[in-house]
Amino acid sequence: MKTTSIKKIWREGKDLIDSDILISGWVRTSRTSKTFGFIELNDGTFFKNIQIVFDENLNNFNELAKISIGSSLIINGKLVESPGDKQPFEIHATNIEIAGLCEPDFPLQKKRHGNEYLRTIAHLRPRTNLFSAVFRVRSLIAYAIHKFFNESGFVYVHTPIITSSDAEGAGEMFRVSTLDPEKLPRTDKGEVDYSKDFFGKSTNLTVSGQLAVENFCAALRNVYTFGPTFRAEKSYTQTHASEFWMVEPEMAFSDLNDDMDLAEDLMKYIISYLLENAPEEMAFFNQWVDKTLMDRLTNLRDSKFERITYTEAIEHLEKADKKFEFKPEWGKDLQTEHERYLTEEVYSKPIFVTDYPKDIKAFYMRMNDDNKTVAAMDLLVPGVGEIIGGSQREERYDLLLKRIEDMGLEKEEYWWYLDLRRFGTNKHCGFGLGFERTVMYMTGVENIRDVIPFPRTPKNAEF
RNA sequence: GGGAGUUUAGCUCAGUCGGUAGAGCAGUUGACUGUUAAUCAAUUUGUCGGGGGUUCAAGUCCCUCACCUCCCGCCA
């Protein structure tokens, strides 16, 4: 007999009433009286459980009466309408095979645990309501992103994980090497001789796929990369991880407005997809994690994102009643407190901030006509802060070269990136969307470590 | 890199003025013919994060190390 998923039972329950079915899964909770009992079983296919009713006619009733939470069962039975008001149907078991008992030191209990504690048992936490919902939604968001780009004619490009260039000077990188740190080869000058390393040069884990994907943008037009990214900064915050995933689209013959349109469409698409395909999970988040979640998401889906320039943002901040720890000043980067004030208090919705001073942005961003600002945009959202960073790229060879030199970068490292500006250059743009920050925003979960299956942060690579 | 806080039972946490450690839940045992965080009764559990110091006496005060958490910076 074929196993029926609990998802199928919940979705098509009425059609299955009175039929014999086979299910399997893990005990979430059980309640037993003298001659009968109830088991709530979760099989991983659906957020909700199914209630199993068993009685003393089963030959292993005594064992089942004290079944421990977490045990795995294989159940034959009949699906019937339930007299209880908490569920429309239940299964009257005709046979229950105990596939694996759960030993008494199983750490998950029939009560709420703190997220901090659950992080220490990351191998078991996906069995909880919250984490099963988070990781199912994480998967759905990833799928929605691919679906969105695919339907929009974008080509998915796998950019390299191991790179030899410091892509944007984006901070500390993890070194990739097969050299023995105990006996490093040295040059005559006493420096480490990377020509003896595996790739014959110094290599690192990628901090961004953007420079690589731009090359494909000049060939396949609209492209995106979506993969793991690594940053070795010692960031102890709720929104930073050492290993995270990033979505980076790139569009040829497009400007910053096209870029923002794309970002806005993508965010809205993801929300619509989740509301349609994960209603149980979203309702759960709304009830237990963030009571404003559904309102926030539906508002975002239905509203136009605000677009303001950096200069306007500074003006807003300067005339604000609020006392900031750091005084807003044109030419300095916006502090987190500034960003939060703008997106949470002034607009109460996502906002794009555009046209930042050139000195606080990366070398590849396109110089504006004022010669002071670049065509950059950050998308700020309430609760999470910066979720997207993007720009129109500098397509003019001379200006790009000058920026590389002015910022003290090695132009030899970027020869192939500069080539793009020599061989049929075009106005193009793109952005990086923090995948985990998106999951946080869509679920209301406040810590990035709780939306990554096995999070990596400084001093933590357990599991 | 800078700053703050936390660490007590399996989990969540209380512990007053320094006087030798407690609650709820979980677990275990029993009762119960429709429960749903089931209920009721009984009951077990501690190197108070590690090390050092002050004191007649330290979970409590001081020093130090570690871990975790949070804020800032860096960014996504």
pLDDT in tens, A178-199: 999 889 999 999 889 999 999 9
Give the integer Cα–Cα distance in Å for A123 and A463. 7
Average pLDDT over residues A391-411: 93
- Protein CA at A26 to nucleotide C1' at B18, angstroms: 50
| Displacement of CA A420 from its chain's centroid (Å) | 31
pLDDT in tens, A225-277: 999 999 999 999 999 999 999 999 999 999 999 999 999 999 999 999 999 99
**Lookup: nucleotide whose C1' is closest to A231 CA:** B75
CB < 7 Å to strand B — which of 414-433 in chain A? 432-433
Point out the residue nearest to B26 (C-alpha to C1').
A109
Sorted by sequence, the CB contacts under 8 Å of residue A372 that are 6+ apart come out as A357, A358
CB proximity A31–strand B (7 Å threshold): yes
pLDDT in tens, A129-145: 999 999 999 999 999 99
Token pair for A31: 């309640």
Which pLDDT score, from 0 to 100, does residue A170 have?
A: 58
Average pLDDT over residues A392-403: 96
- Residues A73-101 as b/e (b if ≥16 CB within 10 A, e otherwise) read bebebbbeebeeeebebbbebeebeeeee
CB proximity A107–strand B (7 Å threshold): yes
Give me the percent of chain A exceeding a pLDDT of 70: 98
CB proximity A462–strand B (7 Å threshold): no
Give the integer Cα–Cα distance in Å for A145 and A131. 21
Give the integer Cα–Cα distance in Å for A305 and A391. 17
**pLDDT score of A401 more than 80:** yes
CB < 7 Å to strand B — which of 36-75 in chain A? 36, 38, 40, 51, 53, 66, 68-69
Give the integer Cα–Cα distance in Å for A284 and A128. 12
**pLDDT score of A171 more than 70:** no
Nearest to A379 by CA among A300, A284, A453: A300
| Displacement of CA A112 from its chain's centroid (Å) | 24
End-to-end CA distance of chain A: 36
pLDDT in tens, A72-119: 999 999 999 999 888 999 999 999 999 998 888 888 988 888 899 999
CB A47 within 8 A of CB A25: no
CB proximity A389–strand B (7 Å threshold): yes
Q: Which residues are bridge partners to A98 per DSSP? A: A73
Angle, helices A435-443/A256-277, rounded to nearest 10 degrees: 50
- Protein CA at A94 to nucleotide C1' at B20, angstroms: 57
CB A103 within 8 A of CB A67: no
Give the integer Cα–Cα distance in Å for A49 and A41. 5
pLDDT in tens, A44-71: 999 999 999 999 999 899 899 989 999 9
- Mean of the per-residue pLDDT values of chain A: 93
Give the integer Cα–Cα distance in Å for A170 and A208. 8
Residue A321 pLDDT class (50, 70, 90 cuts): confident
CB < 7 Å to strand B — which of 290-329 in chain A? 326
Give the integer Cα–Cα distance in Å for A79 and A68. 23
- Protein CA at A104 to nucleotide C1' at B26, angstroms: 10
Which pLDDT score, from 0 to 100, does residue A349 have?
A: 87
CB proximity A231–strand B (7 Å threshold): yes
Q: Is A200 left (phi over 0), alpha (psi -120 to 50) or beta?
A: left
CB proximity A361–strand B (7 Å threshold): no
Tell which strand B nucleotides have any atom below 7 Å from a protein Cβ: 1-3, 10-13, 25-29, 31-38, 67-76
| Beta strand spans in A196-305 (E) | 203-205, 222-230, 243-252
Token pair for A381: 């959202």
Which pLDDT score, from 0 to 100, does residue A7 have?
A: 95
Which pLDDT score, from 0 to 100, does residue A361 have?
A: 93
Which pLDDT score, from 0 to 100, does residue A115 have?
A: 93
pLDDT in tens, A424-445: 999 999 999 999 999 999 999 9
Eight-state DSSP code of residue A341: I
Which pLDDT score, from 0 to 100, does residue A172 have?
A: 83
CB A457 within 8 A of CB A230: no
ipTM: 0.90
CB proximity A357–strand B (7 Å threshold): no
**pLDDT score of A413 more than 60:** yes
